[in-house]
Structure 1
Amino acid sequence: MANATVRHRKQFSSCDSCRLSRVSCDASKKSNLWMNTRKRSPAKDGHSAADIPAVELLTNQSQVTNINKETSIASDLIAEAMTIHEGLWQIYQQHFEVLFGTWVGFSPCLDGYDLGSFCCRESNSSLDDLANSGTHPNTICISRLCVTLDKWISEGQGTHQCVANRASESRDADPKEEKQIRLSLIQAVHCFSARWLYLLDNTSIQPLCYDTLARQFWRTARRDMLKVINRTCYRSVLTLLLFGMTPLPVGLGKEEEIDGLSGQLCLQTALGKLHELRARQKTCQFSGFKVLVSVDPGPLDNIADENTAMEFMGAESAAYFAGIIFDTSTSLTLNSRSLLSSGLLGFDTEPVFRLVKTHSRIFHENTKEWRQNGFEISNKNTSRIATAAGMWKLFVWKMIAVFKEALRDGYDDEMVGRVYTAVLDAINQFGTTYNPLMAVCERGLQFLDWRPKFEWYSIMLHYHMGILILVDAIEAAGCTDLLSKLEKTRRESEHGVINTLKFGLEAKCLIRGAKRTVNAVTQTNQVPTSKDTTSFLAIDPYPHHVVAAAQLVSKAIMREYTAGRIGVDAFINLRETLVSALQHLPDCSKSVQTAREQLHKTMFEVTLGLNDGGYAQTSVNFRMTPHDYGLTESGNGQKHITESTSRRETLLPDHVINTKRTLELQGIQDLITAINSAGLDRLNY
């Protein structure tokens, strides 16, 4: 046995080189280096090594091509997400935050405070502000304000660790929670601005996807609202307010509409959170939800610098007045009780509105010469008048909301009469102090920049809408005897709504690339093209107010036409104005679609006098815009693009392709996630 010949095992498998190469890392197989250097080992017959067959090289090369293609698609998705985010943020900032921040910055509550660090710096580079610097030096950036307040509060509480029932560390020590708060806010911003996505010059998104994107933005933001409600901070307040202002998108089922938080609930919760933040006191608090053995100290307790403490108080006052604006608006339009200010039993002693009345008296004295001798119609003067009128418009809204509360809660005639007198006094004050100046500005609006014109348009539309809401409340309560003192004002507001809507249809504003447009103007002496502009109605940040004004004035038009006080031609012209106004509003809003249907039902099903003017009955012809399309799923699982009318269905591609082409349904959520992630750094003020 010892001398027995040991036979070696015959190896039928690959040699060691081939085996090692075959079991190497899959990641290395995808590299050009692995494919170019892989050789077959020398054959046992002594022949030279041969290269890998061409079919294997082609197979591995196709893997590399697919990886490169996927990388290219991912890069395009990120770039596209950043582009869309920039557009949505620009819409939010230039057409909501600047307008709203102007009202907040003009608040009488901020006298004596220096809030220059919270100004909208981005708006200072816009075309109109470059031409007239200093027009609005106190325009407050609400997002910057909320971020800074949360930072100060977090730093103040971080120095005091005796916090009751503390389940986690302070927010400044929890980067995950901070990121989630910022993500929730940026999702709400995108959700709010998605209605106007079609206005952006973005060739990468086909019009077929606008409604779908708006729905997905809304769904993403809504899923996060429960978490937002449980966070008490200023950024969460702003998040809830923005989502509350976002209408239901078209294409939702009834079950989906009720399966979650409503916008009205988010608005009310936001105001309650703001009150909770403002009312922090060193007193014991008791709750059935949790036990509080001690109370967080206020941020002022840990601020040694007096100037910083004053700045904090000013910032809190600005946030509070921003809440007052929302609180007054919701109590007027939603018939809800005021949460941040006194209602019926204290409206005449409310500190905020007492300051508003004081400022109104001062403004009346300072502009006495203007009303008597006239003034120069400039951007600065028009903006000053419009913002002052906006403050008093807010007071008129407050008085109307209090009057509606008196009617709704069944107070006696003495209380109703007292409040109604206060309403009439506020309306008369507007007519005496502000209306003459606004009328003079109206004659020169065509020579002004679009920003002062937009402020004038917004204030006049809101004021006249408030008067029509007052009339509607009186008629609904059956107190028609009160209308005798309001007859002239009612007719002026009915005419004012129509004239303001017509102005909103004709006036144009910039919608994109303000810095780019400025460079184009300064370097090439070119004016913005039609692609850079749209009507005021199309970009109005409060389209629900446009809908309310159109619905209220349509009732007045029908009343006047039925009574024979307006003719057929006037009726048709008025009707077409309302139709055009609603057509310019974002199509993806369900409330807008409902308003259009109601307008068709009330104003297009009336018999016109054929013998009087020779007019035949016409039917409404609402605009069919490209974003009236929607994405649906057929019974066999295939995804189709369907129009709102019965037209030919087109099959969507089944594979993910470049974002410069049609977006697929399954890829939209990835795009939404990328857009929201792209905006996280935006809030690092």
Structure 2
Amino acid sequence: MPCTPVTRRTQFSSCDECRRSRVACDASAPGVPPGSGSCTRCRNRRRPCTFKWLEDAKGGASNRASRRGRRRQASLSSTGTSSFQGSNGAEITVQPCPTGSSPHGSDRHTPQEAMTAPAWNSNSPAALVPPSPAYSISTPLYTSVLGDADSEWLQALYRGGFEAVFGSWMGSNSCPFLFGQDRLAQKYVSISDLCRHLDQTMAESAVSNEADRREVKQDYRAENSMQSTIAAFSARWLPIITSHTMAPGFDHLAVTQTLWRHARRDMLRIIHRPSYRSMLSLLLFALTPIPSGISAEEEADGISGQACLTTALQQIQTLRARQRNLKFSGSKVSLSLEHTVLSPTPDALDTSGFINAESTAYWAALTFDTSASLTLDCRPLLSSGLFGFESEVPWQLVRTCSKVFHETSEQWRRDNVEMTDDRANQIIAAGASWKLLGWKLTAIFKEAVRDGHNESEVRRAFVAVLDSIREFNAIYRPQLNECHNRLQFLGQRTKLRWFSLMLHYHLSILMLIDACEVTDRHDLLADLAEVISDAETTVMNTLAYGLHTTMILKREPDMDSALGGSVGGEPLITVPMVSIDPYPHHVVAGVQLMRKAIDRDFRAGKVAAETRQSLLSTLERTLSHLPQCSKSVQAARAEFTSATSGCI
């Protein structure tokens, strides 16, 4: 039977926009010539309903090249190509790097050169993390957008803001795996340096064993992605330094959007390439505020912060597994059954330095996991929930460390030890460890209520939270109050760490109260009367402290000196402490919960009208000092204004 060729049908009824989006178009009803009216989709979006593609199709081959050009231009626009004014006043056009290629270009460092760093003697008891190599967030993208000086400012704010706080939580005074190891661990840990050297040690072992050379290239990709994410994470603070370093007309919002889009694309490059730097990049991007001006459609089109967080937690599990066995899923089966070691050689693995570093990285991931389970109402990945968490080693170690700290603090009291900056940081770091346990217990209580467990389990979880609050007040609160009395004489980083601890810990109590109110468990609120009053007072006073206490910033790459002091003619910037809080979303949550509490007390007649107005003014000014390029901050300010005006 002869084969009859099938003629491809051409439909001349879709407009340009519907054809480009590959959706049905009703521009031409039956019997109506194509192009004679506007389709419903274009009419609802108030866009012109055009049929240029139809003219091109009739024009023949001469118009096909122009169609390809338009598609290429549309592709560039969709991948984030943008133009704006850089810090040097020049017009900047940013184009994305091809997937798998280096943003440095072929004339830059080779993959082997990119991972070269000073040798790390892991047997040395002096430090957990060796000195950082000369890495900077100043890749060609950032230097063209910001310039070297401005990139150094962001680096300083990242180290002096985020790592100054988070690094104290990872040090020997807080991390339960290192608690009290003064000779084997640092008091403050740079998490980026820690992850970099963990990757370097593992990569060097793989190269020495003649393993797959692609691991080196992966290391290079992970470094670039981490620097890209740090730049996007720190871009929120651009308005702080705009008036001091940027050229007139600098569009910091456009720069923030560009860096965010660039970092978001990098997440897709590392999401299936487990490494410690990839893990940190994913965690940092989960903390990076979505910039204002990013549409809901663009936000939904790419990977989300919560997905990055989940992937990072899965990567730390893969890295700690240390070997590849048979793995399979519906989309892929790993056929290799060979025992492939991912970690360093056994000789390197036996060193206490590497074990401490790896344990610290795990504690960092556990911190993010616990925070997400409380704030996002999701199940933890690295820890158990309502059943089984008591027997897990990290939480048992936290309780043991609490007993050791209590004995130490009692000795301080008997010896009448003076409150110094070093002692204050030790107290704050130890309290931060218990704070994480408090967050864990509060998340477990919310899980028990949310999942409909029986009353005995709900009560058990609730009593566990109450017991942790009592222990905090008995062991840590007196020491923290003593710190507060001497804060004016302590260092700026110490003040910032105290501010973060007091806000974060009591925020979990406000979330506990909110969970009871939302689920109508007013019977439980009766047992929280004193706790409620203390938590609300402390959060309000802490926010006021962060609003009225100023910080002096300077461009200094070293974390321990990035806040405070002056260097020759280097410009100094003075801002409220709350402006550089590395967790502005926690501040926003605290403001919203406090507004709810103030309105509740006002309706109950516990707060006078003028007092309510004064408290709300403090909360509103707090929001005004947070990064205004954040989409969440802008939404919170709009919601706050609407809610307060509606109650007047």
Matched-pair identity in %: 39
Aligned to 1:479: 521
Matched, 1:357 2:399: yes
**1:599-646 Cα deviation digits (max 9, x unpaired):** 111222223xxxxxxxxxxxxxxxxxxxxxxxxxxxxxxxxxxxxxxx
Asked whether 1:141 is paired with 2:190, we answer yes
SS at match of 1:150: helix
- 1:466-615 to structure 2, matched below 5 A, reads 466-514=508-556, 531-607=572-648
2:327 is matched with 285
Task: Confirm or deny: 8 A CA contact 2:276 2:316 kept in the other structure.
Answer: yes
CA 1:520/1:471 → structure 2, altered by over 3 Å: closer, same or farther? closer
Quick check: 1:152–1:299 contact (8 Å CA) kept in 2?
no
Post-superposition offset of 1:425: 0.6
Structure 2 matches for 1:319-358, cutoff 5 A? 319-358=361-400
Map 1:659-670 → 2, pairs under 5 A: none
Between 280-289 and 557-566, report the one with greater CA deviation.
280-289
Post-superposition shift, 1:353?
0.8
* Structure 1 stretch displaced more, 514-523 or 182-191: 514-523
Contact (CA 8 Å) 1:115, 1:314: kept in 2 or not? no
**Aligned to 2:233, which of 186, 192, 195?**
192
Using a 3 Å threshold, how does the CA distance of structure 1 residues 238 and 300 change in structure 2: closer, same or farther?
closer
Q: Distance in 2 between matches of 1:566 and 1:532?
A: 38
Q: Identify the residue that residue 200 of structure 2 maps to in structure 1.
A: 151
DSSP 3-state at the match of 1:213: helix
Amino acid at match of 2:335: L
Instruction: Supply the distance in 2 between the matched residues of 1:271 and 1:592 (Cα, whole angstroms).
Output: 27
Whole-Å Cα distance in 2 between the matches of residues 227 and 179 of structure 1?
Answer: 12
In the TM superposition, 1:58-69 aligns within 5 A as: none
Per the TM alignment, residue 188 of structure 1 is displaced from its structure 2 partner at its CA by 0.4
* In structure 2, distance between residues paired with 1:273 and 1:459: 28
Is residue 410 of structure 1 aligned with residue 452 of structure 2? yes
Structure 2 CA distance for partners of 1:115 and 1:257, relative to 1, 3 Å: farther
Given the two structures, how large is their TM-score scaled by the length of structure 1?
0.69
What one-letter code is carried by the residue in structure 1 that aligns with 2:176? P
- Name the counterpart of 2:283: 241
Could you tell me which amino acid in structure 2 is paired with residue 104 of structure 1? M
**Matched-pair contact (CA < 8 Å) for 1:364–1:433:** yes
Hey, what does 1:86 align to over in structure 2?
Answer: 152
Tell whether the 8 Å contact from 2:164 to 2:188 is kept in structure 1 after alignment. yes
Contact 1:464–1:493 (CA under 8 A) maintained in structure 2: yes
User: Residues 507 and 299 from structure 1, CA distance in 2 versus in 1: closer, same or farther, beyond 3 angstroms?
Assistant: same
Describe the superposition over 1:563-609 as per-residue Cα deviations: whole angstroms up to 9, x where unpaired: 111111111110111011101101000100111111111222223xx
* Change in CA separation of 1:235 and 1:75 when aligned onto 2, cut-off 3 Å: closer
Task: Give the number of the structure whose alpha-carbon radius of gyration is greater.
Answer: 1
Look up the match of 1:366.
408
Contact 1:240 1:267 in 2 (8 A): yes
For residue 171 of structure 1, the aligned residue among 215, 240, 250 is 215
> 3-state SS of the aligned residue for 2:245?
coil
Structure 1, 442-451 or 355-364: larger mean CA deviation: 442-451
Q: Residue 108 in 1 paired to residue 176 in 2? A: yes
C-alpha contact 2:282 2:311 (8 A) present in aligned 1: yes
Residues 101-149 of structure 1, C-alpha deviation per residue, up to 9 Å, x if partnerless? 1101131212587896xx8xxxxxxxxxxxxxxxxx4211111111111
Provide structure 2 residue ranges, at least 5 long, that are not aligned to the other structure.
Answer: 1-88, 94-139
Tell me the distance in 1 between the aligned counterparts of 2:557 and 2:271.
37
Secondary structure of 1:316's aligned partner: helix
Deviation of 1:420 after TM superposition, in Å, equals: 1.1
Whole-angstrom CA distance in 2 between matches of 1:107 and 1:185: 23
Task: Report the Cα offset of residue 160 of structure 1.
Answer: 5.0
Instruction: Report what 2:308 is aligned to.
Output: 266
Aligned to 2:345: 302
Aligned residues: 507
Note the C-alpha offset of 1:368.
1.9
User: Which whole-Å CA distance do the structure 2 matches of 1:589 and 1:484 have between them?
Assistant: 38
> 1:281: Cα distance to partner?
4.0
* Partner of residue 251 from structure 1, selected from 271, 278, 293: 293
Q: SS of the residue aligned with 1:604?
A: helix
Distance 2:466 2:382 in 1: 24
Distance 1:79 1:500, change over 3 A: closer
Unpaired segments of 5 or more residues in structure 1? 1-68, 120-136, 163-167, 608-685
Shift of 1:511: 2.2
Residues 553, 564 of structure 2: 8 Å contact kept: no
CA distance in 2, matches of 1:273, 1:75: 27
Counterpart CA distance in 2 for 1:480 and 1:422 is 18
2:463 maps to 421
Residue identity opposite 2:337 in structure 1:
S
Quick check: 1:115–1:138 contact (8 Å CA) kept in 2? Answer: no
In structure 2, relative to structure 1, the CA distance for the partners of 1:281 and 1:465 (3 Å cut) is same
Match of 1:509, SS state, is strand
Asked if the contact 1:390–1:459 (Cα under 8 Å) also holds between the matched residues in 2, the reply is yes
Q: Name the SS for the 1:541 alignment partner.
A: coil
How far apart are residue 235 of structure 1 and its match? 0.8
Q: 1:227 to 1:114 in 2, by over 3 A?
A: farther
Give, in whole Å, the separation in 1 of the partners of 2:198 and 2:592: 40
**Cα gap change, 1:306 to 1:475, in 2 (>3 Å):** closer
Q: Could you tell me which amino acid in structure 2 is paired with residue 575 of structure 1?
A: L
1:193-212 aligned at under 5 Å gives the runs 193-200=234-241, 202-206=244-248, 208-212=250-254
CA distance in 1, matches of 2:516, 2:151: 45
CA shift in 2, pair 1:365/1:345, >3 Å: same
Query: Root-mean-square deviation (CA), in Å?
Result: 3.0
1:300-356 CA deviation, whole Å, 9 max, x = no partner? 562325754x32222110100011111111111111111111211112111001000
Change (3 A) 1:249 1:282: closer
* Corresponding residue of 2:134: none
SS at match of 2:340: coil
Residues 409-431 of structure 1 show CA distances to partners (whole Å, capped at 9, x for unaligned) of 11111111111111111010001
Distance 2:302 2:425 in 1: 41
Alignment-mate amino acid for residue 302 of structure 1? T
Q: In structure 2, what residue type is equivalent to 1:141?
A: S
Instruction: Specify which of 493, 501, 519 is matched with residue 451 of structure 1.
Output: 493
SS of equivalent to 2:292: coil
Residue of structure 2 in register with 1:219 after alignment: 261
1:251 Cα deviation after fit: 0.7
> Residues of 1 paired with 2:288 and 2:462: CA distance?
33
**Alpha-carbon distance between aligned partners in 2 of 1:520 and 1:399, rounded to the nearest angstrom:** 36
Structure with the bigger RCO (C-alpha within 8 Å, sep 6+) is 1
Query: After superposition, what is the alpha-carbon deviation per residue over 1:33-57, rounded to whole angstroms, capped at 9, x for unaligned?
Result: xxxxxxxxxxxxxxxxxxxxxxxxx
Matched, 1:392 2:434: yes
Go from structure 1 to structure 2 and tell me whether the alpha carbon gap of 1:295 and 1:413 turns closer, same or farther (over 3 Å shift): farther
Contact persistence 1:198–1:207 (CA under 8 A)? no
Change (3 A) 1:151 1:112: farther
Partner of 1:462: 504
Deviation, structure 1 residue 178: 3.5
